[in-house]
Amino acid sequence: MSALFSRVFLSNRPAGVKIANLETSLSPAVTIRRLKAYKPTLADCLHYGFLSSILFFAFIMNPASWISKVAFYTFLGVLFIIPATSQFFFNALPILTWLSLYFTSSSFPAAMRPPISVQILPAIETILYGDNLSDILAASTNKPLDFLGLIPYGLFHFGAPFVVAIILFLCGPPTILRGYAFAFGYMNLVGVIMQNLFPAAPPWYKIIYGLNPANYTMKGSPGGLGRIDKYLGINLYTPLFTNSAVIFGALPSLHSGCATMEALFFSYVFPKLTPLFIFYVCWLWWSTMYLTHHYFVDLMAGSVLSYAIFQYTKYHHLPLADGSLFSRWSYPEIKTFNIVQADPLGSNANDIESLPVPLVLGTDFELDDMVNSDSPSIFDNERSISRSSAASNTSLEVQEESYSSPRLGKQRVD
């Protein structure tokens, strides 16, 4: 197995390059030494301060026993301080923060929560698209379509993040997994915050309860996935969605956000396969509406949120990908985006348009010099450019003197 791995991933490794190596030390002293030498920036302070506040909030609000919570946070601290595990778990801090808030959301007191919106999303759907797309797609169901919808929504959604992470780690540039964890975690974290601040009922609620007011004592519904449980004789999706931590979290759709984020990262590393990744996102969009879990406006909101966070991550955290290199061990160096150089409105000393232009140009020429000569062109030599520039910058006094010249008073000979 090691020989196969070396032949596939290490055959094109540059000699002496160690940027793709993993940390294998188990000594906390290494982490402590790096922490002492670390100088955080303002962005780092905001980043870790925000995540720490969410983690502390989840620690206080989570109904688990204090001993369990202290033991869990202590275990995370141990993973963070050991170098071999810290390189993975510490960089996954946005994901861990999202999970802690998500599983704590069900314990928020109903008196502290905002009212649940039942009519806004279907109204927006009708205004924007002329009808309720989820109702249209779910109007006609059959067994083949049920299983076709199960694949992206009930299977790929839960396994794809891990598969994408493994492929990015092996085939992407070094440190791209860190950027993926940042973007994926923040997208879900912001999405859960939005779902708690603006709770909205999904399409299955309208099918079961109509447009009657909703409350936080209601249970969730598996929607079309309940038919899968009946087909297979299992009890998997029904209890999973009935007891969801965020039952009224239709907007934004994190299913759509996750699929979009995975497609964006795969397209970043494998741009030639972009149409395939777009197809997967569209497939998942269809399945979420067919299974009555989201409105189309929810899907758009999730994708827009994912795209915005990916763009920020791309320019601030991601290394540049090289399509000619097969694996992380093939990269000789790590290159990142230079926002200043990429700014189309920025100035560049090497740009010809940035060269200084003199305010006064020489005018030592006569009109005779231009007789029988070609019109000035940008491709002329230095003398021709000087003449054309001088002619356009001649002062008013010089022009008046030219008009009074006796040459202009001569009789024209036809």
* Consecutive 10-residue averages of pLDDT for the chain (414 residues): 77 83 91 93 95 96 94 95 94 96 94 94 90 88 96 96 96 95 98 97 95 94 95 94 95 97 97 96 97 96 98 95 90 86 66 60 51 52 46 46 45 46
Confidence (pLDDT) at 371: 52
| 302, 373: one domain | no
**Is residue 137 a contact partner of residue 290, using CB atoms and an 8 Å limit?**
yes
Q: Cβ atoms within 10 A of the Cβ of 320, count?
A: 15
SS3 336: strand
Confidence (pLDDT) at 373: 52
Confidence (pLDDT) at 11: 78
| 70, 210: one domain | no
| 362, 332: one domain | no
| 208, 118: one domain | yes
Domain end among 296, 312, 342: 342
SS3 199: coil
Confidence (pLDDT) at 212: 95
Per-residue model confidence as pLDDT tens digits over 355-371: 666 555 555 545 455 55
Domain ranges, residue 364 = 357-402
| 62, 150: one domain | no
Identify which of 170, 137, 399 has the alpha carbon closest to the alpha carbon of residue 289: 137
* Secondary structure in 3-state letters for 5-63: HHHHHCCCCCCCCCCCCCCCCCCHHHHHHHHHHCCCCHHHHHHHHHHHHHHHHHHHHCC
Confidence (pLDDT) at 395: 45
Q: Judge whether 104 lies within some domain.
A: no
Per-residue model confidence as pLDDT tens digits over 173-200: 999 999 999 999 999 999 999 999 999 9
Confidence (pLDDT) at 266: 97
| 132, 27: one domain | no
The token pair that represents 251 in the structure block: 């907007």
- What are the DSSP calls for 356-379, one per residue? ---SS------GGGGTT-PPP-TT
| 137, 229: one domain | yes
**Is residue 360 a contact partner of residue 393, using CB atoms and an 8 Å limit?**
yes
Confidence (pLDDT) at 221: 95
**Is residue 209 a contact partner of residue 116, using CB atoms and an 8 Å limit?**
no
What's the domain count of the chain? 3
Per-residue model confidence as pLDDT tens digits over 202-253: 999 999 999 999 999 999 999 999 999 999 999 999 999 999 999 999 999 9
Whole-model pTM: value is 0.82
Q: Which phi and psi angles does 221 have, rounded to 5°?
A: -145, 145
Confidence (pLDDT) at 368: 54
SS3 182: helix
Maximum CA extent, the chain:
110
CA distance linking residue 28 with residue 10, whole number of Å: 30
